[in-house]
Amino acid sequence: MLTRDVLARYKISRSTLYFWSTPARMPSSFKRPFPQPTIGGSPKRWRKSEILLWEEEVNAE
């Protein structure tokens, strides 16, 4: 997933994505920070499987 896809999926800005990725600044309800991009380049890219795993962990009760 490209950066723009991630931003559109969660309806967030780039700065919000940065905060979600920073443990000290992520929302307290998150079990772990948003994953760092695993595929280099410009724009940054994520594997969809990693995003879905993060969603499961954040939404787990």
pLDDT tens, 3-33?
899 999 999 999 999 999 999 999 988 888 9
Inform me whether the pLDDT recorded for 1 exceeds 90. no
- Those residues whose C-beta lies under 8 Å from the C-beta of residue 49, and which sit 6 or more positions away, are none
- For residue 59, what pLDDT is reported? 85
- Delimit the domains of the chain by residue range: 3-59
- For residue 61, what pLDDT is reported? 58
- For residue 13, what pLDDT is reported? 95
Gap between the Cα atoms of 10 and 4, Å rounded:
10
Gap between the Cα atoms of 59 and 53, Å rounded:
10
Task: Note the helical H segments in the chain.
Answer: 3-10, 14-21, 48-59
- For residue 60, what pLDDT is reported? 81
